[in-house]
Chain A
Amino acid sequence: MILSLLAGGILGIAAGAASAFYAAGIIGSGASFGDQIDVNSWKSDWTIGSAAANPWTRARVARHGLLALTKDEAVYFTTATDSDGARLKDDCTYEVSGGEMPGLWWSVTLYDGESYLPRNKDNALSFDKTKAAASGAPDAWSFVIAADGPETGNWVSSKAGGAFDLTLRIYKPDLALIEDPEGVLPAPTVKRLACKGAAS
């Protein structure tokens, strides 16, 4: 009886700790800050950064989005899949397109599986409102994600990104977005163009 108690207790502690590490994203799958909000696979959670966050969200944000602001100041949407639901990876090229975002300023940044900027020297880390405006089409912008950049055009480098994800930040989001994210967010489209080794 005592042996059973002891064995169960030790196994329980080990499994409980391991499951907490998994839930926080310290071991296992990469970033996912919550699925409270899902707009065409761009996921967010309005409790990010706040005392209202549940323990799983708080731990995951600490691991994959430390120092995140609350929704009144900034909202964060993350996607790890293209528009067909396939995992984003650095041996494929993608076109990301969208329109005007409901907030003061926005950006789309690529992060690797550890939630860091991919270790490359391409100096092509993000696409933002400034670049959309400079492209002459702030309401209908697009950029390419590829490991090797195009000679012209807007580009975010995925070199050394592995299985990556994209974070859309919207600073000073419109109240309408907070109240109805699914109805208001013009979620950017992530279209897979080609993959290495695949027939084009």
Chain B
Amino acid sequence: MKAFLTGLAAFVATFLIAHFVVLNALPGKIMSTVRGKMMDTGIAPHSWTMSARITPETQSVVRPSPDLAYAICLIDLSDGPVEITVPSWPEYGSLSIFEADTNNVYAGSLDARAEGTPGTRRVVVAMKGQDISGAAGAETVTVKKPEALALVRRLAPTQASYEAAAALIPASSCAPL
């Protein structure tokens, strides 16, 4: 009986530990895997890459919206903060920043119709303690780990609007501050 209770106690204790360790590790692992796959396809950190127009053949991340045009920048803050600039859009649009654990820590409107949306949105992403003295005038976003991800969404349900969104990539930047 004592041996059974000992085994049961060991089961309960290790069950709880394993459950929460794995559960808490999964988001970061999934994010890291997606990041790795993106890099395998040639997406380099600190450059905006336009995703192909979303179709069943081109989707690379779960639950993409086929009505949106996506652009992505992989951020690595190991050597310091990164500055992002993105032009506005005449329809719904957003610039968002995600931490390595998947949390969405920033979302700024790119919708030119919305009050307060600048012609070009400028955001500096940094880790706590990094020098952001060069960020004057920019919005600042602090993340916990060096790996982060910036994502632009623009409402673009037609091929023509997708191409118009893609044409804004050269006017966008994502580079060390």
A residues lining the B interface (CB < 8 Å): 1, 3-17, 19-21, 23-24, 26, 31, 49-51, 53, 55-56, 58-59, 61-70, 72-74, 104-105, 107, 109, 111, 114-121, 123, 125-126, 128, 130, 167, 169, 171-172
Known: A17-B22, A66-B62. A49 touches B157 (CB 8 A): no
Closest to B114 in A: A172
CA distance A130 to B91 in the complex (A): 12
Q: Contact partner of B14 among A9, A74, A107, CB < 8 A?
A: A9
22 interchain pairs, CB-CB under 8 A: A3-B3, A4-B7, A4-B10, A5-B6, A6-B10, A8-B7, A8-B10, A16-B18, A20-B19, A21-B26, A55-B24, A63-B26, A66-B61, A69-B94, A69-B96, A70-B104, A70-B107, A72-B107, A115-B63, A128-B67, A167-B63, A171-B94
Q: Which residues of B contact A114 (CB under 8 A)?
A: 62
Interface SS of A by simple majority: mixed
In order of increasing CB-CB distance, the 6 nearest A-B pairs are A16-B18, A12-B14, A8-B10, A8-B7, A4-B7, A20-B22
Q: Are A115 and B62 in contact (CB under 8 A)?
A: yes
Q: Which residues of A contact B26 (CB under 8 A)?
A: 20-21, 24, 26, 59, 62-63
Q: Are A56 and B62 in contact (CB under 8 A)?
A: no
Q: Are B56 and A1 in contact (CB under 8 A)?
A: no
Q: Are A17 and B19 in contact (CB under 8 A)?
A: yes
Q: Which residues of A contact B61 (CB under 8 A)?
A: 66-67
Q: Contact partner of A20 among B18, B67, B114, CB < 8 A?
A: B18
B residues lining the A interface (CB < 8 Å): 2-4, 6-24, 26-27, 30-31, 34, 54-57, 59, 61-67, 91-92, 94, 96, 98, 101-105, 107, 109, 111, 114, 149, 151, 155, 157
Q: Contact partner of A119 among B27, B56, B64, B105, CB < 8 A?
A: B56
Q: Which residues of A contact B6 (CB under 8 A)?
A: 1, 4-5, 8
Known: A15-B11, A58-B102. A107 touches B16 (CB 8 A): no
CA distance A55 to B31 in the complex (A): 15
Most B-side CB within 10 Å, residue of A14, A69, A72:
A69
CA distance A31 to B4 in the complex (A): 38
CA distance A104 to B114 in the complex (A): 10
Q: Which residues of A contact B9 (CB under 8 A)?
A: 8
Known: A1-B6, A16-B17, A68-B104. A118 touches B56 (CB 8 A): yes
Q: Are B65 and A58 in contact (CB under 8 A)?
A: no
Q: Contact partner of A49 among B8, B64, B91, B103, CB < 8 A?
A: B103
CA distance A9 to B17 in the complex (A): 10
CA distance A111 to B11 in the complex (A): 38
Q: Are B92 and A105 in contact (CB under 8 A)?
A: yes
Q: Contact partner of B10 among A12, A61, A128, CB < 8 A?
A: A12
